[in-house]
Structure 1
Amino acid sequence: MAYIPILLFGSSILLVLETATGIDTINTAQYIRDGDTITSAEGTYVLGFFSPGKSRNRYLGIWYGKISVQTVVWVANTEIPLNDLSGVLRLTDEGILVLLNRSGSVVWSSSTSTPVRNPVARLLDSGNLVLKEKGDNNLENTLWQSFQHPGNTLLPEMKLGRNKVTGMDWYLTAWKSPDDPSKGNVTCKLVPYGYTEILVMEKSKVLYRSGPWNGLRFSGMPSLKPNPIYKFEFVSNEEEVYYREHLTNNSTHWRVVQSQNGDIHNFKWIEKKQSWLLYGAPKTDYCDRYALCGLNGICNINNSPICDCLNGFIPNVSRDWNMMDWSKGCVRKTPLNSYSNLDIRDGGSGCLLWFGDLIDIRILHENDIDVYIRMAESELGALERSSRKKHMKEDLDLPLFDLDIVACATNNFSADNKLGEGGFGPVYKGALKDGREIAVKRLSKNSRQGLDEFKNEVKHIVKLQHRNLVKLLGCSIEEDEMILIYEFCPNKSLDFFIFDEKHRLLLDWPMRYNIINGIARGLLYLHQDSRLRVIHRDLKADNILLDYELNPKISDFGLARSLGGNEIEANTNKVVGTYGYISPEYANFGLYSLKSDVFGFGVLMLEIVSGNRNRGFRHPDHHMNLLGHAWRLFMEGRPLELAAESIAITCYSYEVLRSIHVALLCVQDKPEDRPNMSCAVLMLGNNDALPQPKHPGFFTERDLFEASYSSSMSKPSSANECSISVLEAR
């Protein structure tokens, strides 16, 4: 503590003033001159004089006390710098801090409207410089505080907002430059009226907006979410409305800075690196430029160009829009009789309404919200299709074919090029200009399937690569079309051969056995070796395509489902698939698993061996379906009688018998009794003894009728757990 007998300021004489050094408080008998400092109790912050950057001017400010890089968080005399080292800060008897220059003139001062007897100024460990009555530790009773007069930095516990009673605003103002802390042109304010949001403005021009507070966060700031560094709050009551952050660990150094170019930067001090880490910022990409896409435009940073019109709107000036000048925005295709535009819903506040033109809308890829726009009735049908297809296009990781190219390849979808038709729609043969042959699957407008199945097909096959899976080459979703383009399999599907009296003669047993093993390997890849654990759910002869060499390729993934992590089963309220191949637990209880595909594979094996469909099978001696007939022959020691007359089994009786045996193991009634596909592949490929099969599921025509009836109804999800054990080959 230093004592100076006399200090002269012009004609004024101050006697025996005490210089404040190394303490956190000054009173009316103390002062701070250039070179002196006061430090908060824990040493976190320091108050003193400094020169920013390359400037020689002197300012009174607050900076961090425990870090190596001087980082100023608050400045008093931003507009009137001192040009020498003569500055002095003192506290008057009225409780006002004054900054004096060499001549004793007041360069900067605080203010108070409350009478005070024994004022003191104290620097807190929060970085807040407060004036209060000595002995009064209640921060609510402060006469003045620096936190109510922020500069370019928002510290934890500082408020960004407004006092509704006094009209005082708490906002950030960027420095003019790193060398000049005077007020620049860029400010960051919390708009206290209407739907409260944060605006960054350059003078009167809006540069960025956070979107309204929705009860959880500001809707346009997906990065604002729970984190290990700070908690945040939004408060709105009769007296105040503000946003504020609280550190979860007081030893952390954290600050938010408004930059000169309009960006808002979050910084965290990294002790090991002795530097500030740019943690993240609300403004992160070009779409955050306010009104970039004009009225009723929408910005998507992942698109090129990034601006588009909202669904149901068209560019106001097409010529400018095509030149990437989006400032004129978009207008409605069909005007409304009355004007109410926007309805936003979110988990926080429920519903926000907006009237008038929409502006500054963008696509977010996390924490998104639902937006409902009132449209003319005539627009709704086309709008729904367009919206769903546009959203779907963003999800596809797949080459897109121009519709003109697909039409040319198929001779404009000529009937002469038509290969067949399924639940999705017609399939056409095509040829690209490079000579590649393709199969084109075109969604029919009357199709029982639609966008969901289309997306599901792409999702489950686009990244799967196996010689026994059909390869998806791309898609086309222009106009009202939804088209999938596959590799061409010239020998059509398996049902074309095995269920036709003439064509079945073309498939001898080695060919059929190769097809069985190929399907098994494809299923094993789906269940075990692929990136996803995929359940096909519609395995049947119609969905097995044959290439030039009659190698099988599993196709049609429109009903497929994937299992995550350690999942082995799931359930559904809606049973889908093809009768005759659906497993009992799926048809009766909506429970599907990898073992559901195993059941379908077993049915398919018996159909390949016998040349008969399971569904609709008739025998003069009984009323069983194909599964029951095969089981009956097996139990009576006559399994080879199941084999189709068209195949010579003399040389291959062992393979035929083993295929029937494995098939009956796969179609057993209980899923836990069925082998998984890895076991099935091993069983088909070795000579080990096999376990005795139990009765199959749905082995009579009555069972099949009941399954058909029950599976067409919506079933409640089963709560029963299904333990699935694996049968190992012996």
Structure 2
Amino acid sequence: MHDYVFSLTMDKKANLIILPFLRRVAIDCTIEAVDSTMQAVNMHVLRYVPRIWNPLQPAKKWVSGPLFDISGFTNTPELLTLNGFTNWYNISRDEVYYRFGTGNPKSLSRWTANQFGKVERLLWNESISMWTLVLNLPKSQCDEYSPCGPYGLCDLNSSPICSCLQGFRRKSQQELDQRDASSGCVRLTALDCKNRTDRFMTVTHTSLPDTTMAMATFHNKISLDECRQKCLTNCSCTGYASADIYGRGCIIWVSELVGVGTVSYGGREVFVQLASADLGTLIHSLFIRVINYTTTS
């Protein structure tokens, strides 16, 4: 094979394949804790937010985050900044694709997934005749999929690393005593969509929650305030965020928020909908603040 720029896609039998030319591929990698052969992989597309998943072992281990803007995959920017690799990507209303090449037709690279769910990207080093590890994911426990359960907040600088978002409490006291955060958190007070008394809490410097059950639009003309209004008119909405780092586009979550974690550098803002009764107990800190809003009838 003389081409050295490849695209990931799937054939009609749902097999993951690599092609030496550009194809229309919507991709957001979700790596399961399975063997490196990556057999039986299907594409699941839900309201413009694409995912790759394994139906035989649906327990997710690591999620790259969606590719929404030039900053790269929202929770794994390293994928677009690796030495020795050249990356191309396109983001438009019709398609989102990502492809990469080594920049050298004689270079060899590969992805592997081991039995522990670790994803490794390797580059062949001709001088020592060995594969060189250039990327290892997930990097930490907070980078794993849902380490703290729904509405949990993962922070490596805290002990324990899992806590509940403001306005939520631990779902299982027994798990809390055992330092098991997998069941996550539940609301202190139910939302009141009918009377529109709910407000939003902003969690900053965070990774984006899992977008499997989310609606995303990439229109540059949609402002963050318009995104908020879309959330308010949908009683299933649990939170929203801009689609890119410039405040453009809109992501609306219509399920429990999973995978919220603080990051040491950069990160995003996620607006979590809370009952107004829970806002009085909020603690203003570096990472969390309350956003008020008004509605018109």
| Bin for the TM-score computed over the shorter chain | 0.5 to 0.7
Deviation at 1:267, TM superposition (A): 0.7
Deviation at 1:197, TM superposition (A): 4.4
Distance 2:254 2:24 in 1: 27
Distance 2:272 2:30 in 1: 33
1:334 aligned residue = 189
Find 1:375's aligned residue among 269, 274, 277.
274
Distance 2:97 2:162 in 1: 33
* Aligned amino acid, residue 245 of structure 2: G
Report how many aligned residue pairs link the two structures: 235
Q: Deviations over 1:252-308 (max 9, x none)?
A: 333223334432211122233321111013422222332221211122233221211
1:343 aligned residue = 240
TM-score, normalised relative to structure 2: 0.63
Q: 1:225 to 1:184 in 2, by over 3 A?
A: closer
TM-score, normalised relative to structure 1: 0.28
Q: 1:222 to 1:175 in 2, by over 3 A?
A: closer
Deviation at 1:199, TM superposition (A): 4.7
2:45 aligned residue = 192
SS at match of 1:281: strand
Distance 1:175 1:160 in 2: 26
Deviation at 1:320, TM superposition (A): 1.7
After superposition, residues 494-573 of structure 1 pair within 5 angstroms as: none
After superposition, residues 318-333 of structure 1 pair within 5 angstroms as: 318-333=173-188
SS at match of 1:204: coil
1:295 aligned residue = 150
Distance 1:265 1:214 in 2: 23
Find 2:79's aligned residue among 197, 208, 224.
224
Q: 1:332 to 1:172 in 2, by over 3 A?
A: closer
**Contact 1:200–1:208 (CA under 8 A) maintained in structure 2:** no
Q: 1:294 to 1:176 in 2, by over 3 A?
A: closer
Distance 1:175 1:326 in 2: 23
Distance 1:352 1:224 in 2: 22
Query: Bigger shift: 291-300 or 192-201?
Result: 192-201
Higher share of residues assigned strand: 2
Higher share of residues assigned helix: 1
Distance 1:381 1:266 in 2: 47
Q: Deviations over 1:600-632 (max 9, x none)?
A: xxxxxxxxxxxxxxxxxxxxxxxxxxxxxxxxx
* Aligned amino acid, residue 347 of structure 1: I
* Aligned amino acid, residue 372 of structure 1: F
**Contact 2:31–2:119 (CA under 8 A) maintained in structure 1:** no
Find 2:4's aligned residue among 112, 115, 126.
126
Matched, 1:242 2:97: yes
**Contact 2:5–2:21 (CA under 8 A) maintained in structure 1:** no
Which structure has more relative contact order (CA 8 Å, sep 6+)? It is 2
Which of structures 1 and 2 has the bigger CA Rg?
A: 1
After superposition, residues 66-465 of structure 1 pair within 5 angstroms as: 123-126=1-4, 150=16, 161=25, 191-194=44-47, 195-197=49-51, 199=53, 203-216=57-70, 217-235=72-90, 241-338=96-193, 339=235, 340-345=237-242, 346-347=244-245, 349-385=248-284, 387-388=285-286
Q: 1:175 to 1:292 in 2, by over 3 A?
A: closer
Distance 2:33 2:173 in 1: 38
Distance 2:267 2:30 in 1: 27
SS at match of 1:192: strand
**Contact 1:208–1:289 (CA under 8 A) maintained in structure 2:** yes
Q: Which runs of 5+ in 2 are unaligned?
A: 194-234, 289-297
Q: 1:369 to 1:200 in 2, by over 3 A?
A: farther
**Contact 2:191–2:274 (CA under 8 A) maintained in structure 1:** yes
Distance 2:54 2:181 in 1: 21
**Contact 1:156–1:254 (CA under 8 A) maintained in structure 2:** no
**Contact 1:234–1:243 (CA under 8 A) maintained in structure 2:** yes
Q: Which runs of 5+ in 1 are unaligned?
A: 1-122, 129-144, 164-169, 392-730
Distance 1:273 1:333 in 2: 58
Deviation at 1:334, TM superposition (A): 2.4
Distance 2:104 2:26 in 1: 27
Q: Deviations over 1:352-386 (max 9, x none)?
A: 1112311122222234111111223343353242x
Deviation at 1:248, TM superposition (A): 3.5
Q: Deviations over 1:387-413 (max 9, x none)?
A: 43x77xxxxxxxxxxxxxxxxxxxxxx
Distance 2:130 2:139 in 1: 21
Q: Deviations over 1:683-729 (max 9, x none)?
A: xxxxxxxxxxxxxxxxxxxxxxxxxxxxxxxxxxxxxxxxxxxxxxx
Distance 1:204 1:265 in 2: 20
